[in-house]
Amino acid sequence: MVSYGKILATGFNLHGQLEPGLANDHGNLQHFTQIQTIDHVNSVQDRVIKCALWSATVIDTGILFLHRGISGTHPDHIHFDGLIDLDGRPKRGAFFGDVSGVRGFLDDEAGDLYLLQDDGKKDASFLRHCFQANDFLPRTGKKMSRIAVAGNMQVCISTSCKNPAICVFSNLQSLLQGSDPVETHSSHNGVKSLVASSTTFTILGQQQSLLETFGDARYPALLGRTPSIHSPASLPTMISALDGIDIAKIAAGSWLNAAVSREKDLYVWGHVTKQPIGNNHSCFDKILNSTGEDVHLVDIADGQDVQDVALGDEHLVVLTKSGELWGYGSNEFGQLGLGHNVKSTQGQWVKMYVADAGEKIQEISAGPLSTFIVVCSHARGRRKRSETSSGYSSELAE
């Protein structure tokens, strides 16, 4: 099914990573604002928001990539034929980066890595990285299939080959230089999704929907499990609280991880930070300390089914099966779209956005301090692009 689409965003916009022409209010968008139209949105295509970082965003329009923010254009498409398939459309894969902006792109089918070139030109360009014959990947015959960069700069990749593996490198430069990983683990279950928090990685298996976590032992709550001698923090290990639950999607923020089951339930686990939000507590304090369990089953607006989840540094956004968008946590930078006067939801769920008649929210995504939604309709033709902010009333749910 193909339909007209628009992208709306709210939150931190100091670097023009949401909309270069609307970098107002000290760099924040306080309400959901239309930042892009898409003439053709395929309901089964890859994600539209390809990468949402602290200072940069990459959007897949289905025809080209838009790159905004640090190292990005103003805005324009990314000029490099290697990121375009033979049919003229952008390659399927994942962009990745850190606080400094987008660093590269992984073609997850071919296993090729493309790096953003810092050549001082206006348009962003990517160049395929060539490993030497004696570098780790060529030497071991491994091909990359997934990549994730944690907040502590560690890089994790999954490989697809005769003996698939999970490999952890101390940083991106170590991977690019062909060094051996600091950790290597067998991956008998395959990797469907790989995400990173500040200090941990979460893997959703290709088979049986198994969910495993591993990472820094100093923050065991981010693992969703208690490390032991037989299953240390550094070893990918299944979260026992989710054993037997068929997981459909996973997401990671800085200090919170989340999973959505095929039964449409939301589970979260994470570390309560010391940073005070609102009434002198972390914005995730209530949701994480509601029980003494490692993993928490979260109730959304009196038990609504959850379709999707997105996480930022201090905010949590969910799309319900009924098409409603709900948020939780900090709005300090406008990331929940609630306006100037609301700094935090104070432990309550807030309805963030209601789609117009004939429209539906197809995709949600979150940067560290921002939120994106892709709204689709079956209207024909191209609509006029909006350059004004739109405010929406909010509802609070105990």
pLDDT at 208: 67
pLDDT at 86: 73
Q: Which residues contact 131 (CB under 8 A, 6 or more apart)?
A: 137, 138, 178
The confidence band for 301, taking pLDDT boundaries of 50, 70 and 90, is: confident
The tens digit of pLDDT for each residue in 206-244 reads 876 789 999 999 999 999 999 999 999 999 999 999 999
The confidence band for 321, taking pLDDT boundaries of 50, 70 and 90, is: very high
What is the b/e burial string over 61-73, where b = at least 16 CB atoms within 10 angstroms of the residue's CB? bbebbbbbbbbbb
Chain-centre distance of CA 61, in angstroms? 18
**Short-list 161, 219, 231, CA closest to 191:** 161
Mean pLDDT check: name the lowest of 209-218, 245-254, 302-311, 382-391. Answer: 382-391
pLDDT at 381: 42
pLDDT at 45: 57
Q: Is the pLDDT of residue 302 over 90?
A: no
pLDDT at 380: 47
pLDDT at 119: 56
Q: In the chain, where are the structural domains located?
A: 2-397
The tens digit of pLDDT for each residue in 161-200 reads 778 899 999 999 999 999 999 999 998 788 999 999 999 9
Q: Which residue has the higher pLDDT, 99 or 265?
A: 265
The confidence band for 77, taking pLDDT boundaries of 50, 70 and 90, is: low
Q: Which residue has the higher pLDDT, 327 or 287?
A: 327
- Residue range 55-64: mean pLDDT, rounded: 86
Chain-centre distance of CA 107, in angstroms? 17
Encode the chain in three state secondary structure.
CEEEEEEEEEEECCCCCCCHHHCCHHHEEEEEEEEEEEEEEECCCCCCEEEECCCEEEEECCCCEEEEECCCECCCECCCHHHECCCCCECCCEEEEECCEEEEEEECCCCEEEEECCCCCCCCCEEECCCCCCCHHHHHCCCEEEEEECCCCCEEEEECCCCCEEEEECCHHHHHCCCCCCEEEECCCCCCEEEECCCEEEEECCCCCCEEEEECCCCHHHHCCCCCCCCCCCCCEECHHHCCCCEEEEEECCCEEEEEECCCCEEEEECCCCCCECCCECCCHHHHCCCCCCCEEECCCCCCCEEEEEECCCEEEEEECCCCEEEEEECCCCCCCCCCCCCECCCCEEEEECCCCCEEEEEEEEECCEEEEEEEECCCCCCCCCCCECCCCCCEEC
pLDDT at 75: 47
Token readout for 346 is: 């104070």
pTM above 0.85, yes or no: yes
The tens digit of pLDDT for each residue in 327-359 reads 999 999 999 999 988 888 988 999 999 888 888
Rounded percentage of the chain residues whose pLDDT exceeds 70:
83
pLDDT at 161: 75
The domain at 2-397 falls in which architecture?
7 Propeller (2.130)
Q: Which of 37-51, 125-139, 371-385 has the highest mean pLDDT?
A: 125-139
The one-letter code for the residue type at 101 is: G
Mean pLDDT check: name the lowest of 51-60, 122-131, 250-259. Answer: 122-131
Whether 320 and 326 have beta carbons less than 8 Å apart is answered as: yes
Mean pLDDT check: name the lowest of 69-83, 165-179, 268-282, 370-384. Answer: 69-83
Starting from the edge strand earliest in sequence, which strands make up the sheet with 349-353, in order?
Answer: 306-311, 315-320, 325-329, 349-353, 396-397
The C-alpha atoms of residue 191 and residue 203 are separated, in whole angstroms, by 7
Q: Is the pLDDT of residue 148 over 90?
A: yes
- Residue range 36-55: mean pLDDT, rounded: 80
Q: Is the pLDDT of residue 363 over 90?
A: yes
Q: In a 10 Å sphere around its CB, with 0-12 CB exposed, 13-18 middle and 19+ buried, how is residue 76 labelled?
A: middle
Q: Is the pLDDT of residue 279 over 70?
A: no
78 forms beta bridges with none
pLDDT at 392: 32
Q: Is the pLDDT of residue 118 over 80?
A: no
My answer on whether omega of the bond before 20 falls inside 30° of 0, hence cis, is no
Mean pLDDT check: name the lowest of 42-46, 58-62, 255-259. Answer: 42-46
pLDDT at 62: 78
**Short-list 373, 256, 287, CA closest to 323:** 373
The confidence band for 90, taking pLDDT boundaries of 50, 70 and 90, is: confident
pLDDT at 78: 60
Instruction: Please give the angle made by the CA atoms of 300, 324 and 309, to the nearest 5 degrees.
Output: 60
The tens digit of pLDDT for each residue in 2-12 reads 567 899 999 99
